[in-house]
Structure 1
Amino acid sequence: MRIDYDSFPKRTIFCVDMKSFYASCSAVLLGLDPLTTYLAVVGDTEREGSVVLAATPPLKQDFGIKTGSRLFDIPNDPRIHIVNAQMSTYLKTSIAITELFHRYVPMECIHTYSVDESFLQVDGTTRLWGDKFSLAEQIKEEMQKEFGLSCAIGIGPNMLMAKLCLDLEAKKKGIAEWTYDQVEAKLWPVSPLSKMWGIGTRMEERLHRLGIRTVGQLANYPRHLLEKKFGVMGNQLYYHAHGVDLSDLGAPIMQGQISFGKSQMLLRDYTKKKEIKHVILEMCEEVARRARTANKAGRTISLGIGYSKKEGGGGFHRSQTIAEPTNMTMEIYQTCLQLFEKHFDERTVRKISISLSNVVDDDQLQLNLFDHRKPKQREIGYVMDAIRQKYGSNALLRAVSYTTAGTARHRGRLVGGHKA
């Protein structure tokens, strides 16, 4: 099947990414140049095992320190600055950057994808700001002048192509553009498949079993077989491999991949099953709250457990699909407990992740003749969310959060998972 690109919209989308955003902001706050300074942002400078959240480009290049490294990996070198994360400052800077974008396009043409990455739809701005490359250059210059920060800009006819252009070319060049005419030359050679935005490691493994290892092989695989194997997501994978994306600005690129999750690197070793279950319950509460906030419910519940590296690392990630969609904490928790009891092998735990997927709108409730409490339990969940929204996340906590195993009270004092 040949794709008729003339039948698809050709918009002008910018995907703007701030280079080493946390580290660059921290460097600027210290009056330093992010492009020449050795600086690492860590979760907590008092903990040797604290994770590096960001590093300036010179630190990455000359010392090999990158996001995910540990504090103890950083050499004892007087040239290296090590600072705590300042999440409130980063968020304020991100908001100010959005206001900068608003000078060039209406607010409805801006989608903040993350604290350091945004999409802009710049169609119709030529008479005001010149062609797309002139506008991209102007945004980069303004960013540097006002905030002392560098950015990269990927340009494409849709969100998908702009994001792929950013990740695979613009981050090296500064500004780059991918068009439909370049799909075969630039997109199809991409491998491994996990470099393709929207394809995670598990989907990559499933595609490998079909003999698909490059985006080009995915694009040339029979669409009907992909749809048979993956359903509607198979259709999306096929068209995305051809660079086609009809998502509105701000809509999820992969509709079938919408999920609500929570992942946590524990601050200490957890060896007792009872304590691990306490943290799982807290995290189920958070996942359920996120789903309710979006008025969604899901049928597939996933639990991931990561073991301590002192015992060889590893772990498991398992999912279970239940009969009816839910966003109730205890229903998610009971499913997680089943997965935990079945797969846990009595090792030290350092990481836990939980997600709710296979999502639908929460506009209906399947009544159970043998359990009349379900409607009230569902309503209580929304009431608790409203109280937390008004008075703070620690306004209502489960009893397990007041045990030595609980982490919710500590996390409630953080911004974006880190010190403010």
Structure 2
Amino acid sequence: MNHPLPNRSIICIDMRCFYASCIAVLEGLDVMKVPIAVIGNFKQPGSIVLAASPPMKEQFRIKTGNRLYEIPKHPDIRLFEAKMSFFLNMSMAITKLIAQFVPREAIHVYSVDESFIDLTGCETLWGSPEKTAKAIQQAIFQQFHIRSAIGLGPNRLMAKLALDIEAKKTGFVQWTYEDVPKKLWPVHPLSKMWGIGRRMEVNLNNMGIFTVGDLANMNLEALEQRFGVMGNQLYYHAHGIDYSNFEEPITSEQISFGKGQMLMRNYATRAEICVVLLEMCEDVARRTRTAGYVGRTISLGLSYSKAAMTKGFYRSKTIAEPTNETLTIYKVCKELLDTHFAGEPARQLSVRISNVEQERSIQLDLFDTGKEQRLLLGHTVDSIRERFGATSILRAVSFTKSGTAIARKRLIGGHLA
């Protein structure tokens, strides 16, 4: 901790029950009084609940992540399909409103319903950071009738933690470094800490670390030896310290390209799963090529249906030569599937390529005379899709009943536009 601690005025603002609130505005309903659920797709009984209003959560115990078939038949319940284009337009309108208080470069849009805002230097215009934050909060509610929660902290990490751990219950809270021991260190399980996923939680638990306080008091060198740069970040984050700025990514994790997909029905056989896998590999490869990268580590994740007796898996394989070729990525995914697939019905898949480097570093193989042509073909197909649409060129498997590419064409973020 040789650097001076960042001490800016950063807020993290979250639009509460955003999708449900948007629908309520559109339909002239009160999101705080009417049981509302926003569904991905009415035609699929297994479609996920994307948002639920407070009465829906309190009265019927239905929340984000539940399925359509789990919602009870009740005359008071109002169900609506997702309108992603409307949600995105509302999100952009809210961002434009925030830009009336701060310069646009002071706004970092984190997701469709959450943003970081640097209020440093705005004191002469609007008063204290707390006063400015509450003015923004009030303006959003007056113009859009959408409630929000705000965490205020000396850096982005602290603002986010204040929001997630306390402000989502109270509406507004400010955290300082002095609050870390009493408010952050007791947090458990570790996956409640922003930036720590379930797998990392298990790894830390295996080291005897169960609370954020345990992590803060762990030996830094031991964490760095076990997790590398991520271990250093975990240690400092446990102390509420974050040196990143608005020009840098939110986390320091390595660049990777991935795609996850919730299947709208159970895919029971390897053949069916491979159809969707090929489509997903195509998309991941396209985005990797577009960004100018190739990668060596390919990961496959699979979650089984709720009725399955087996847990899902997430496995990776590192190959000798970096790639961004669809069929190479697909081949590795099939190898991982053949090794770990338990034969139960699959409901969710994910594909990721990481350990990346710039595409210009790729070496042509003297014994693989078709490699250059395949690279050129990949970029040519990408250009055609960019110009004429994602479904202008499709593999034959996409036209089978197991294919999803055509049906997903009219979706935004996996949901109806």
Query: How does the TM-score come out when normalised to structure 1?
Result: 0.95
Letter in 2 for 1:267: M
Pick aligned residue for 2:379 from 369, 382, 388? 382
Q: Deviations over 1:129-188 (max 9, x none)?
A: 111111111111111111110011111111111111110011111111111222222221
The SS at the match of 1:299 is strand
Q: CA deviation at 1:344?
A: 1.4
Shift of 1:74: 1.3
2:334 aligned with 1:329: no
* 1:239 aligned to which of 226, 236, 240: 236
1:277 matched to 2:274: yes
State the distance in 1 between where 2:8 and 2:261 align.
Answer: 38
Matched with 1:16 is: 13
Q: 1:180 aligns with which of 172, 177, 180?
A: 177
Q: Is the 8 A contact 1:365 1:375 kept in 2?
A: no
2:71 is matched with 74
Q: Could you tell me which of 345, 365, 372 is aligned with 1:348?
A: 345
Question: Which residue of the partner structure matches residue 219 of structure 2?
Answer: 222
Deviation at 1:51, TM superposition (A): 1.2
Q: Which runs of 5+ in 2 are unaligned?
A: none
Amino acid at match of 2:122: T
- Structure 1 position 33, deviation (Å): 1.3
Give the secondary structure class of the aligned counterpart of 1:304.
strand
CA displacement at 1:393 relative to structure 2: 1.4
Q: Which residue matches 2:32?
A: 35
Change in Cα spacing, 1:174 to 1:364, as seen in structure 2 (3 Å) is same
Range with greater deviation from structure 2 (264-273 or 159-168):
264-273
Structure 1 residue 355 displacement after superposition: 1.6
For residues 130-141 of structure 1, the aligned pairs below 5 Å read: 130-141=127-138
Task: Check the 8 A contact 1:252/1:258 in 2, yes or no.
Answer: no
Answer yes or no: is 1:303 the counterpart of 2:305.
no
Q: Contact conserved, 1:245 with 1:253, CA < 8 A, in 2?
A: no
Matched to 1:415, the amino acid is I
Q: CA deviation at 1:308?
A: 2.5
Residue by residue over 1:234-265, the C-alpha shift from the partner in whole angstroms, topping out at 9 and shown as x without a partner, is 11111111111111216333322543221112
Structure 1 residue 42: Cα displacement: 0.4
Q: What is the TM-score of this pair, normalised by structure 2?
A: 0.95
Matched, 1:357 2:344: no
Residue matched to 1:65: 62
1:363 Cα offset (Å): 4.0
Alpha-carbon contact 1:236-1:254 (below 8 Å) kept = no
State the alpha-carbon separation in 2 of the partners of residues 360 and 41 from structure 1: 40
Name the CA shift for 1:377/1:10 in 2 (closer, same or farther; >3 Å). Answer: farther
Deviation of 1:303 after TM superposition, in Å, equals 0.8
Contact persistence 1:16–1:118 (CA under 8 A): yes
Q: Which moved more, 1:393-402 or 1:355-364?
A: 355-364
Identity in percent: 53
2:361 is paired with a residue whose SS is coil
Of 45-54 and 98-107, more deviation after overlay is shown by: 45-54
Q: Distance in 2 between matches of 1:39 and 1:407?
A: 29
Matched, 1:109 2:129: no
The correspondence for 1:152, drawn from 149, 154, 167, is 149
**Aligned with residue 289 of structure 2, among 284, 289, 292:** 292
2:316 counterpart letter in structure 1: S
- The residue that corresponds to 2:312 in the other structure is 315
Deviates more, 1:337-346 or 1:321-330: 321-330
Q: Secondary structure at the match of 2:375?
A: helix
Distance 1:166 1:301, change over 3 A: same
Q: What is residue 50 of structure 1 aligned with on the other side?
A: 47
1:11–1:174 Cα change, 3 Å: same
Q: Deviations over 1:37-90 (max 9, x none)?
A: 210000122332221111011211221100111112112111110010000000
Give the SS at the match of 2:263.
strand
In the alignment, structure 1 segments of 5+ residues that lack a partner are none
Return closer, same or farther for 1:132/1:220 CA change in 2, 3 Å cut-off: same
- AA aligned opposite 2:379: Y
Q: Distance in 2 between matches of 1:297 and 1:225?
A: 32
- Tell me the distance in 2 between the aligned counterparts of 1:294 and 1:158: 30
- 1:231, distance to aligned residue in structure 2 (A): 1.2
Q: Quote the Cα distance in structure 1 between the aligned partners of 2:43 and 2:160.
A: 36
1:99 aligns with 2:96: yes
In structure 2, the residue corresponding to 1:186 is in which secondary structure? helix
How far apart, in 2, do the equivalents of 1:323 and 1:60 lie? 50
Q: CA RMSD in A?
A: 1.7
> 1-side partners of 2:8 and 2:382: how far apart?
39
Q: Which range moves more in the overlay, 361-370 or 98-107?
A: 361-370
